[in-house]
Amino acid sequence: MIYFSHDDGLNHETPPGHPEQVARLEAIRSALAGFDLDRREAPLGEDADILRCHPQSHIDHIVGSAPTVGWRSIDADTHMSPGTLTAARRAVGGCTAAVDGVLDGESRTAFVGCRPPGHHAERETAMGFCFFGNVAIAAKRALDHHGLARVAVVDFDVHHGNGTQDLLWDEGRALFISSHQMPLYPGSGHAHERGAHDNVLNLPLPGGTGGHEMRLVYEDAVFPALLAFRPELILISAGFDAHRADPLAGLMWETEDFTWLTARLCDVAEAVCGGRIVSTLEGGYDLQALGASVAAHAAVLKERGA
Amino acid sequence: MSEQAVTEMSFEQAMAELERVVGQLESGNVPLEQSIALYERGAALKARCEAKLKDAEEKVAAITLDRDGAPTGTVPFDGQ
């Protein structure tokens, strides 16, 4: 497994008390400190990659909103500090470099431990702590730059990946699958939202859903859909806020559930795409649960992606 | 927003606020940070509605299960 991260992610500062905080990245780094990994610095994302998902006006808006001191609020959740823009570009660049590394055969798996997250960022709207659609940008790079015919994105963050859904809605070469608590932010993700090419699969879960029920949903719906679509690469929006300890949601998954889910996704990837998986960090706001869950996720990706 | 205690609400009050809460959560206008608090309020409202419904069902049961097969008016279920 290749692990992409960058110190610039520590410079994306959010206001005091904000859950998407610098300490999240520190918790992940501590959790992965003992791992023997192929560690690489996430490069800065290129406009050419971002432009496959967002118009120039969105890039200009984000660049133009960056403050020189303090914070500037994009919405009630989403704030920019002087270091945010570079951190956001590292998160994009980490994802595209991870796609390159895996598709070039350097490793079967990669994990991008960058922040800010990306799955809420819509085509022209930064929201929900997100600025650019990191995982969708990575999917488009795999399709347009590497020429893959089909990619899948699996989003197990507890919140619906409305941004990824928006960016891939009319992309028939991409299958987007999201499991998420509903009702909860951002309010989208109903099962009837299916994409322009029947390429979106939403699996809303009621509050309190535990790991056992999650496993049934993934076995019944997610894995068969992936096997039928036969993606040539599986991308994961890895949010760890479905953990029972998370303060921003009400699902009841345990750390072992992330181990199970990662292993089963590796099984599917081995069956359809040579085991190729690129996973990128999304949410997860209880620092202890986040660290433990990322370690569990990475341990499987490392073992299976050797 | 008035935060009336859920335990003091009538079924109609709880149901009306539950519909409003679900509508807010589905509107996408609630900040991510606040949506779990709103969800928890909704869960409490749902529990209140279910409790009031159960009360009502027990009252209906008290009438239909009257030993003479005839309605007995307003005798509470708990009183039998």
**DSSP code string of A7-70:** GGGGG----TT-SS-HHHHHHHHHHHTTS--EEEEPPPPPHHHHTTTS-HHHHHHHHHH--SSS
Interface of A with B (CB under 8 A): 18-19, 75-77, 120, 128-129, 159, 162, 181, 183-188, 207, 247-250
pLDDT class for B78, splitting at 50, 70, 90? Answer: low
pLDDT class for A36, splitting at 50, 70, 90? Answer: very high
pLDDT class for B73, splitting at 50, 70, 90? Answer: low
Closest by Cα among A35, A37, A129, A36 to A91 = A129
Give the number of A-B residue pairs with CB atoms closer than 8 Å: 51
Predicted confidence (pLDDT) at residue A180 exceeds the cutoff of 60: yes
Q: How far apart are CA A282 and CA A130, in angstroms?
A: 9
Predicted confidence (pLDDT) at residue A95 exceeds the cutoff of 70: yes
Name the residue among A159, A181, A188 with its Cβ closest to that of B32.
A159
pLDDT at residue B80, as a whole number:
44
- Domain interval for residue B66: 6-71
Query: Is B46 part of any domain?
Result: yes
Give CA angle at A101 (A296, A97), nearest 5°: 90
- Residue of chain B nearest A246, judged by CA positions: B36
For chain A, give the longest Cα–Cα distance. Answer: 50
pLDDT class for B37, splitting at 50, 70, 90? Answer: very high
The Cα of A233 is separated from the nearest Cα of chain B by a number of Å equal to 30
Non-local CB neighbours of A258 within 8 Å, separated by 6+ positions: A240, A243, A293, A296, A297
- Domain interval for residue A138: 2-305
The alpha-carbon radius of gyration of chain B (Å, integer) is 17
Probe site for chain B from A180, A184, A205, A286 (most B CB atoms < 10 A): A184
Say yes or no for a CB contact (<8 Å) between A250 and B39: yes
Predicted confidence (pLDDT) at residue A30 exceeds the cutoff of 80: yes
The Cα of A79 is separated from the nearest Cα of chain B by a number of Å equal to 12
Predicted confidence (pLDDT) at residue A12 exceeds the cutoff of 60: yes
**pTM above threshold 0.80:** yes
User: What number is the average pLDDT over the span A212-217?
Assistant: 98
Predicted confidence (pLDDT) at residue A85 exceeds the cutoff of 60: yes
Q: How far apart are CA A186 and CA A127, in angstroms?
A: 9
**pLDDT, tens digit, for every residue of A145-169?**
999 999 999 999 999 999 999 999 9
- Determine whether A120 is an active site residue: yes
Say yes or no for a CB contact (<8 Å) between B32 and A185: yes
User: What number is the average pLDDT over the span B7-12?
Assistant: 94
Tally Cβ neighbours within 10 Å of residue A265.
26
Name the residue among B26, B33, B39 with its Cβ closest to that of A77.
B33
User: What number is the average pLDDT over the span A36-49?
Assistant: 98
Q: Which residues of A touch B26 (CB under 8 A)?
A: 183, 187
The Cα of B30 is separated from the nearest Cα of chain A by a number of Å equal to 7
Which residue out of A12, A58, A120, A160 is catalytically annotated? A120
pLDDT class for B79, splitting at 50, 70, 90? Answer: very low
> The domain that contains A51 carries what CATH number?
3.40.800.20
Query: Is B20 part of any domain?
Result: yes
User: What number is the average pLDDT over the span A250-255?
Assistant: 98
User: What number is the average pLDDT over the span A95-112?
Assistant: 98
Query: Is B79 part of any domain?
Result: no
- Residue of chain B nearest A241, judged by CA positions: B36
Closest by Cα among A58, A90, A53 to A74 = A58
User: What number is the average pLDDT over the span A232-253?
Assistant: 98
pLDDT class for B76, splitting at 50, 70, 90? Answer: low
Provide the mean pLDDT of chain A. Answer: 98
pLDDT class for A53, splitting at 50, 70, 90? Answer: very high
Name the residue among A76, A183, A188 with its Cβ closest to that of B31.
A76
Q: How far apart are CA A282 and CA A182, in angstroms?
A: 18
Predicted confidence (pLDDT) at residue A246 exceeds the cutoff of 70: yes
User: What number is the average pLDDT over the span A176-204?
Assistant: 97
Provide the mean pLDDT of chain B. Answer: 83
User: What number is the average pLDDT over the span A107-112?
Assistant: 98
pLDDT at residue B58, as a whole number:
81
pLDDT at residue B57, as a whole number:
84
- Residue of chain B nearest A130, judged by CA positions: B32
Query: Is B48 part of any domain?
Result: yes
Predicted confidence (pLDDT) at residue B77 exceeds the cutoff of 70: no
Share of chain A above pLDDT 90, in %: 100
Predicted confidence (pLDDT) at residue B27 exceeds the cutoff of 90: no
Query: Is B54 part of any domain?
Result: yes
Report the number of distinct structural domains present in chain A: 1
User: What number is the average pLDDT over the span A220-242?
Assistant: 98
